[in-house]
Amino acid sequence: MISYFLKRRVATLVLSVFLLLAPVASSFGERAEFIETARDAVVLVAAESESGGGFGTGFIISPDGLAVTNYHVIHRAKEITIWFYDRDDPKEYAAEVIAIDPIADIALLQLQVREDMIPLQFLETDGDLENMQVGENVIAIGHLLGLNWSVTHGNISSIDRGTRVSPYVKTLQHSAPINKGSSGGPLLNSYGKVIGVNTYVMSDKKRTFGVGYAIRGDYVHDIVIELRENGKVTRASLGVQFAHLHKWSRKKYTEENPGVHFPNTYGLLALDVEEDSWAYKQGLRTFDTVLAIDNSPTNMMENLVKRILSLDPGIKVSLIISRDGEIIHLNYTLKELEFDYLAYYDKGREDSDDEKQ
């Protein structure tokens, strides 16, 4: 059962609902009516684990009670409880994790809801990148700093930011205020479509700068489909860590490895290729520079990922590499991307705990 302390905290939060609707409505005009519906589809997520408990946000995506949130909200959770927006009837409902994609920091929850609550209000994810434009007005709904079901307003600052986890997923940078507790909540455009899942903010010594990041809606759309169909998201990989090779990194590696010749300032430098590794068995060596994959240049990690994302593990690709001043062609078999997400998110939680006052 959820702890008494956690229940008290949730009860206090649910009874203190703050909606900042007036400035948002004026910016979105008549279409701001969707906010009322969207709010009813947003849920408060409480996750309790052996190490304690925490709060985040989620939102319903189908009338049978399927919800999306961030994986880090429910990391190692033993029990998950959700609340809907209802000042007069703040009842709690159980939820079960049915699939996760930790690389994208996405989790799917199945809510155990009453029959009379179906069909639920739900939100649609927007899988069209063309509908995500820099400067576009957006709103975020979530439980930032315990201010439950808060609605904040901003605009999109960039549609092409990386994530803290991997280069396989892109985020939207936006200026709608989000903070602790907003994780997993929807970022919506003026048509009420989810174009992002709010995930983290850029801050310095607990001061935020209106720089929020949301997993981009087109990725969320595809991830949800794959999770529902297959139970997991499978990605291909070369199975090795790379560094971007340019003027300054070449200087750094040359100074650190005086016996190695680095003739290029272009490409991706393979690091720490051990003899028993997948990459070594495919013919790659430490400090090989990958110049192209399937004849497509790989001067940036994004170039490599863009190509690999369209392929499956087991597919062979052609690599052009530079080794000791020589050009070598490799037929390279892709492997499934591996990620020790438990260790990664454990460390993230420890770092977060260190920052608490």
- Residue 252 CB partners (closer than 8 Å, separation 6+): none
Contact 291, 266 (CB under 8 A): yes
Averaged pLDDT, 164-182: 90
Report the pLDDT value the prediction gives residue 341, as an integer from 0 to 100. 92
131 vs 101, which has greater pLDDT?
101
How does residue 333 score in pLDDT terms, banded at 50, 70 and 90?
very high
What would you report as the CA-atom Rg of the chain, rounded to the nearest whole angstrom?
23
Q: Cα–Cα distance between 289 and 227 in angstroms, integer?
A: 35
State residue 19's pLDDT score. 39
Structure tokens at 92: 């709690």
Whole-number Å distance between alpha carbons of 173 and 171? 6
Whole-number Å distance between alpha carbons of 218 and 194: 10
Tokens 């049978």 sit on residue: 64
Could you give the CA distance from residue 149 to residue 142 in angstroms, rounded to a whole number?
Answer: 5
What are the backbone dihedrals phi and psi of residue 7, each rounded to the nearest 5 degrees, phi first?
Answer: -65, -40
> Which residue type sits at 311?
L
Amino acid 16: pLDDT: 41
Higher pLDDT among residues 347 and 115, named by residue: 347
Percentage of the chain modeled with pLDDT above 70? 84
**Over the stretch 14-32, which tens digit does the pLDDT of each residue have?**
444 433 444 455 556 555 6
pLDDT at position 18 is 37
Residue 216's pLDDT is 95
pLDDT band at 292 (very low <50, low <70, confident <90, very high): very high
Mean pLDDT of 289-299: 92
Instruction: Provide the CB-side half-sphere exposure for 28 (13 A, CA).
Output: 24
pLDDT at 174 over 90: yes
Give pLDDT, residue 217: 94
CB within 8 Å of 316: residues ≥ 6 apart: 331, 332, 333, 334
Strands 194-204, 207-216: pairing is antiparallel
| pLDDT given for residue 118 in this prediction | 64
pLDDT band at residue 246 using 50, 70 and 90 as cut-offs: confident
For residue 11, pLDDT over 50 is answered with: no
Summarize pLDDT for 65-115 with one digit per residue, the tens.
Answer: 999 999 999 999 999 999 988 767 777 889 999 999 999 999 999 998 777
Distance CA 201, CA 103 (A): 18
> Which of 22-31, 201-210, 232-241 shows the highest mean pLDDT?
232-241
pLDDT score recorded for residue 144 = 87
Residue predicted with more confidence, 354 or 311: 311
**Residue matched to tokens 């033993």:** 78
Whole-number Å distance between alpha carbons of 313 and 22: 50
Token digits of residue 145: 């700093």
The Cα–Cα gap between 304 and 319 comes to: 11
Q: What is the mean pLDDT of residues 281-305?
A: 92
Average pLDDT, the chain: 85
The predicted structure's pLDDT at residue 12? 46
One-character DSSP codes across 77-118: -SEEEEEES-SS---EEEEEEEEEETTTTEEEEEEE--GGGP
| Among 55-69, 158-172, 204-218, 289-303, the least confident range | 204-218
- pLDDT tens across 139-160, in order? 999 998 888 889 999 999 999 8
Residues noted as catalytic: 72, 105, 183
Q: What is the pLDDT of residue 106?
A: 97
The pLDDT of residue 208: 56
Give the pairing type, strands 186-188 and 194-204: antiparallel
Give residue 148's pLDDT.
85
- Whether the Cβ atoms of residue 72 and residue 348 lie closer than 8 Å to each other: yes
